[in-house]
Structure formats: structure tokens, C-alpha cells
Structure 1
């Protein structure tokens, strides 16, 4: 393929540009924002100042697209979890998981979103066949004979392939309709989530990663990550009537009902870096491009433009990176039936993230929505699974591998895992 255009220079777009540079003669990356030279928050990524993390499968995907980038982030000061003693996670909202020993490396990307984006952007800038055009907005697609032939900027830009990685606000469904194609069916699970974030000069933290999920009756959760340059980031989230307070002191008071006491004490003694910032996430949204029977050749969609899930589950960037790897593979295999092959592949990580996020959200009675029998049964099993993970390291490690997109969710319903999950707590555990 001669020329590909990628729209959007977020994590998904940068990974897509890197992936396509290996299989296309030229790649043009188009971004509406003026891109900063180094790590900096930008207008087009308003959620960028909140807590972000690449789960294991995401880091592995980024490192395959840009070899050595994980090591470069660590060398630049990214914290590394080398032992599970530096990791406290209570995904059921109760006791932390029982974990022991060193986790696989890379385990999690503990860098801020601006820092991660800057590292990947620097690698993309070094690719000889990639051109970045920032400060330019795409207004639509050009097409001829039913095939997409480029994108409309200030002047039309011709391309053999256009990839939309513009995120949750993607206009791809409207563009398809303008070209005479059907828009994808939209799945939506409203959750009315609000999250409040504040950064601190890193105190003496008892753990590099702390996470407590919302649970029925207490529809709030929190995460605390150590970050580069001696900082840490706290994000407290809540659903509906359980939105967290925005005021600094009240935010820490709310944290006291969620986090371990030593974590709360460390943050009360820490130096805050700026005021709290607030974001709202109204709904999980998935566009079923994989179910369209008609789709224009020369056009694909990636990342949050396909599936945007509750950020508390920290899966969006990792899904986009994995889809970029899949994009590289399907384009390398040829143009024949490209859209069907790509969307079928991209649906797998998107579907895993969708199931995890919507299943977790609908397990909370505070989240409105229809709960068919399959969802209720899955929720009941998940509650038992998380309870078992609090006392059984085998269940905890398998749960983490699924949560990090390393293993399919089917691993959690193997006979051996069901037996450990349903085993009465009084019988004890055998690591």
C-alpha cells in the first residue's frame, strides 16, 4: 500500500501510524491540536490529566510496535512494580487480592498520559516515512466509485487507506451515511460516572499502585498510581448520586472511606500539585462496525472510535494498541476484504473490554439498565470469583491476567477455576 492517512494523534493514532509505517510506503498522521514538543496536557485530550495506565497486554503491544520503548520509559523514571508487595488491588471493593512474588515484566505502565504520549510521539517522529500534520482538522472523507480515496482537510489529501483514530467523538458514523453506507449499530450502557483527580509530590507511599473498586451500596472507587518525576496521581470516581466531591479537603475525606488508612495519611501529608480536576463519563459506548454488511473500501476505525468504556477499568489505551497491531497484520496480508478482516480482529479486544466494563458496571444496583439472566448469572459468579481472589493467590493471578487482557475471560470459567471459586472459604487455600 502506498499512502495511509491516520486521523488523531492520541495513543491509538500514534500506534496506528507506527504499525502502518511498516507496511505502507508513506503515512500521514493528522491531528487537530497543535502537538507539544514534550510531555504536556492538550486540549484534545481533556481526560489526559487523570490517572491512566497501560495494562500488561497494552505495554507488550506498544513495545512490539516500538521496540525498546518500555525500557526507555523506565530509564526516564517510570516507576516499576517489581514485587506484588508494591501493589494493592481490591477489585471487589473489599479486601486486597492475595498476591505474592514478582509480577511478569512489563507489568503496568506507571507513567502519566502526557508522558506516555510524548514517548510514543517521539518514536513516530523518527520514522522516515511518517509525516505529522498537526493543527489541521479533518472535515470529511473523499470517495469515488464507493471507495474512500482520501480525507478533506484545507485541501483534499489523497490516500489508499484512511484510519479514524479520533476517539469517542469520532464522526465516522456520520461520514458513512454521507457516503451512502449504513451507520453501525450503537450499544450504550449509561453509567453517569464522574471522576476527580489530583496530583501530589510523591510522598512515602506504602504501595506504588492502590486500587479499590466500587461495590453495591458504595458506588465509589479510587486509584492511586506512582508516576514519573516523583509524582503520584489520585483519582476518585463515583456513579450517579455517589459522585465524589470536588473540594480538596472533602475529596480526601471521601477517600478515607475507600483507601487503606496508611494511604490516606500519606496523601494528607503530601504536597499537592495544583487543584483537583473533574471529568464526566456518561456512558459506555460501542459501535458495531464488525456487524456491518456493507463498508467502503479504503476506510477503517480504531480505538475509542469503536469502543469507549468506563475509564475506571483502564483498558482503552491497551485495546487501541492491540488493534494497531492487528491493523498492521491485516494490511500486510493484502487489500482483499480488508475491512471485514480488520473489524473481526479488532472486535476481540474491544469485546473483552466491553464485557469487563459493562459487566462490572451493571453489577452495581446504582447503575440503571436492563439485566438479562445471562448478565445476572455472570454478576453472581463474578462476585464469588472476586471473593475467592481475596484469599486464593491462584484465582487472583488468573483474574489479573484476564483483567490485563493477557488471557481470554474463558480462563475464569475453566473447571479448575470454578472449583476454586466455589470452594467454601473455611476450607483454606493451597497456593
Structure 2
């Protein structure tokens, strides 16, 4: 740990907490600045998606566990569910259920507020980490060569906070382009993919035996752009989220909610909705576009500034990649802390480029499989989507393909795993209409 060095993290969401945890190993002081007041297990105003379904992929859970040993067990003690993916959860992709099989993957099923609360408590217990709430960041201090802190305001009083490193983890609403322009620095190229996704979520009372005892069901968006999920979270509740792309958004009207659920490509969510006691009214949420800021392509970035999590790359939330990619970025940051401080930003963007790019390609290709999504469809993208459709058809019947597909989706294995000769042979055979004989999944 370098004596006297101070890191300031903007935002106490998942990305900010993970960054603060990592930086506490190298910096003498780490200060987290958060606009909201964070109290217990509650949805925050600054996280409008906080009341909706969140997924932590297994590669992200592994990073959580490395940085916070016993994190999974603590979440379970506080009411979360831990389940073997595909064995104790149901996944419908491409219009049918993926065949149940062991994947070696664990799903931790909890609400976003509970995940944040556990990480926040563990992070704030670190002696050299301090969290300050009710603070709004107005901009960066410094110039195009180096950021030296942030300008803030709290309770009407302005305060400049100096730092050796500033980490922007303010999420999808980040004002980083504006802040960089204000200090005369270049801004990154931005990639945008408009999907106009809408969510509507509602809580229901969970009853034993529902969904055959399984912990969750996910129905991917089908040809009509509609999908959803139901997950068994803490408090013995179902959190049900319905989703629709390209402006076809699910209703917030309680009477219309089950009707929309009935239009999904599998009946499981509709059965939960119509067979459970509702605990609140539906809550809507809108996500207009995926956004990727290409700091990795910049020839020069200001020293003393890192951008992480959704502030760097905001993924379509349908694919549950955001928290996991933030975790993989934090792990990459950890490997970059040894070395000259002046080149930390360049090292970080290079080290984190692969997991960000891999997740972006998976999500963007899936979005572009919907004809109404406007975006460049290269020959590679078109061929990829044809092959992915075959993968999905094969995964409805073939346990090897089902397992590999899910491990790729969880960012545990690279997409190339689906082109391994043995796996590709099974995909071409079973994904082309071959009737693979197998008992009906339970």
C-alpha cells in the first residue's frame, strides 16, 4: 500500500463497491461518494432498475467470492437462493426449454438491493474505506493531462475533493463526456444500439411446490420481442419481470400484467402470475439503448481517471451482463495496480477490453437478430446469428450443447467453445432438425 495516496470512487453501486474493494489494497484512503442515502435493503432513487430482475452470472459470482470470501453463503443466509443453473432453474431460449444438465455453474438469486447491501456492508468494514452519502459530483478537477479530484456539492455547500485517482462508477447516467470536455480532454468514441426495451415488474407471494420446486424461470425474448423472468428472492417472494423490445412494453396496469405474461413463448411465468398473491403493483422501467464508450481506443487518456461499469459500457439488461462485467473489470483493475500510476488508466482499459468486448458482441449479436433493431449487420454478424439459432435448437435436446451454451452465456467460457469440432458437430446435427431422443425434462 502506497502511503498517503487517496482514491475517490463516484457511486456506491455494484461497480463502485467492487472498485473500492480492489483499490483498498493499494491506496491508503478510499472514499466512496454517493448521491443517495443508502439505508438497509431498499431500492435507491439513483438505481431506477433496482426494483427489477437482476442476474449475477457465475463468472461474476466467482469474483464476488474472491473479493468477499463467504459472500455467497452470506447472501443465502439473508434469504437469497443458490441454485445449479439448468438443474434447479428453467431457461427457455429460442422458443423452447434448454435441456436440464449439470453445468458447474451456480446462480445466486437475490434482489439488487440485497446484493448491494451485502457488498456495501463488507466494503465499508474495510478500515481505509469511507463512504460519504448525499453528495453530488459536479465535475472533475485538473486538466487534459491529469485529473486531480472532483468538484462536489452537499447540502448546498460546494467542496473540492482532491485525489490521486478518480473512478467514475456513476452508471448509465454518467456525465463523463461533459466532465472531460469541461477540463479540455478528449472524449471517447461511442457505440450505440437502440433497443427501446421496457420492463414491468411485480412481487408475488411464493408458495412451496410452485414451478416444480425450481428457483427461477427465464423466457428469452422470442420472435415477438417479448420475454421475462420469475425468480425466488429473499422474503419468500417471486420477483416477476416482463420485458418487451422496440416499444412493445409490458403494462403497469395490474389487470393487464397477466395478459401480457400469457403471450410469452412458455407458460411458466403466466402460471406463477395467475396462481400467486400479488404483493404490490407493477413498476415500469425503460432502457432505450446499449452504449459503449471506447476508452480502449483512445491514444491518450487523462492520468488519474478510470471509468468502470455501466459508465463505460451499458449493456441491454436482458442479458444480465452488467454486474458480471463490472466484476470482471474490477478483477482486471486488481492486476493493473502494480506499475506506474501515470499509466494505470491505459493498463486498465487494455486489461478490461476483452471481457467488455466479449459481452458486447454476445449482446449486440442477439439484439441484431431482431429485424426491427437498427444497426450494422456485417456478414460475420449474420452468419453468427444463423449459427446461434442452430445452437439453440440443438440445446433443446443435447445436454453437451446445452451445457456449453450456458457456460458461454455466463462468460465462463469464450464463444469459441461453441465452435469446437466435437461440439460443432453435435450442433450441426441436432440443430438442423435431427430428433434427439431423450426423456421429457422435469
TM-score category, normalised to shorter length: over 0.9
After TM superposition, give the deviation of residue 332 of structure 1 in Å: 3.1
Partner of 1:25, secondary structure, is strand
1:16-415 alignment to 2 at 5 Å? Answer: 16-36=19-39, 38-82=40-84, 84-92=86-94, 94-101=95-102, 103-104=103-104, 107-143=106-142, 146-153=145-152, 154-204=158-208, 205-206=210-211, 207-216=214-223, 218-258=224-264, 260-261=266-267, 263-415=269-421
Structure 2 CA distance for partners of 1:83 and 1:328, relative to 1, 3 Å: closer
Give the Cα separation in 2 of the matches to 1:398 and 1:75. 30
Structure 2 CA distance for partners of 1:85 and 1:67, relative to 1, 3 Å: closer
Partner of 1:222, secondary structure, is strand
After TM superposition, give the deviation of residue 372 of structure 1 in Å: 2.0
Q: Bigger shift: 247-256 or 259-268?
A: 259-268
Structure 2 CA distance for partners of 1:276 and 1:164, relative to 1, 3 Å: same
Structure 2 CA distance for partners of 1:347 and 1:383, relative to 1, 3 Å: same
Q: Give a deviation string over 1:133-183, Cα, whole Å, max 9, x none.
A: 110011111116821111112221111111100011111122222222211
Greater strand fraction, Structure 1 or Structure 2: 2
Per the alignment, residue 155 of structure 2 pairs with: none
Give the Cα separation in 2 of the matches to 1:262 and 1:138. 44
Question: Which 4+ residue blocks in structure 1 deviate beyond 4 angstroms?
Answer: none
TM-score by length of 1: 0.95
After TM superposition, give the deviation of residue 418 of structure 1 in Å: 1.8
Give the Cα separation in 2 of the matches to 1:163 and 1:60. 23
Give the Cα separation in 2 of the matches to 1:69 and 1:241. 38
Give the Cα separation in 2 of the matches to 1:334 and 1:404. 33
Does structure 1 conserve the Cα–Cα contact (< 8 Å) formed by 2:96 and 2:266?
no
Partner of 2:281, secondary structure, is strand
Q: Give a deviation string over 1:278-334, Cα, whole Å, max 9, x none.
A: 011111110000000011111110000111011111110111111112112211344
Partner of 1:296, secondary structure, is coil
Partner of 1:248, secondary structure, is coil
After TM superposition, give the deviation of residue 259 of structure 1 in Å: 5.8
Does structure 1 conserve the Cα–Cα contact (< 8 Å) formed by 2:144 and 2:186?
no
After TM superposition, give the deviation of residue 83 of structure 1 in Å: 7.0
TM-score by length of 2: 0.92
Does structure 2 conserve the Cα–Cα contact (< 8 Å) formed by 1:146 and 1:179?
no
Q: Which runs of 5+ in 2 are unaligned?
A: 153-157
After TM superposition, give the deviation of residue 429 of structure 1 in Å: 6.8
Partner of 1:253, secondary structure, is helix
Give the Cα separation in 1 of the matches to 2:86 and 2:393. 19
Per the alignment, residue 17 of structure 2 pairs with: 14
Does structure 1 conserve the Cα–Cα contact (< 8 Å) formed by 2:20 and 2:32?
yes
After TM superposition, give the deviation of residue 72 of structure 1 in Å: 0.7
Does structure 1 conserve the Cα–Cα contact (< 8 Å) formed by 2:86 and 2:98?
no
Partner of 2:280, secondary structure, is strand
Structural RMSD (CA): 1.8
Q: Bigger shift: 198-207 or 129-138?
A: 198-207
Aligned residues: 426
Give the Cα separation in 2 of the matches to 1:178 and 1:399. 45
Q: Bigger shift: 342-351 or 294-303?
A: 342-351
After TM superposition, give the deviation of residue 427 of structure 1 in Å: 5.9
Q: Which runs of 5+ in 1 are unaligned?
A: none
